[in-house]
Amino acid sequence: MTKNSRKIHFFRENIPAFACKPGCHDCCGPVTASSNEVARWPVKSDMEHDEALAELSCPYLGDKGCEVYAERPLICRLFGTTPSLPCPNACAPSEMIAPKIEQRIHGFHAETRQVLLQFP
């Protein structure tokens, strides 16, 4: 396991989980992810990326929701767990993410190559 993979695992373990509103995909817009995260997902075609771009959504958002939910990016996991990324439907965990963990995640994003999920 690489250093970045260990960090991603640590962050995932420390981001609180909560139930989303069924059928909601309000936070599934264009996002970035580290190349470590993206490497674990299936490759999408140019057409799938173009269709997502036309809808301003994520190419991994399918008819039944996120196709990579178990491996979703850190930024997606942060939505609703911090006041800086509130859920548009007011869903949230019973306890928000620890500020120090959130700062470390933002630091990780700043120091690693991020890929915009709209483009191949």
Tell me what pLDDT residue 33 has.
92
Per-residue pLDDT at 120: 45
Which helix (H) or strand (E) is 114 found in, with range?
strand 114-116
Beta-bridged to residue 32, according to DSSP, are 116
Q: What is the pLDDT of residues 61-87, one digit of tens each?
A: 988 889 999 999 999 999 999 999 999
Sign of the dihedral defined by the CA atoms of residues 39, 45, 50, 52, in that order? negative
Per-domain boundaries in the chain: 3-12+28-116
Q: How many CB atoms lie within 10 A of CB 107?
A: 11
Q: What is the pLDDT of residues 1-17, one digit of tens each?
A: 899 999 999 999 999 99
pLDDT score at 31: 84
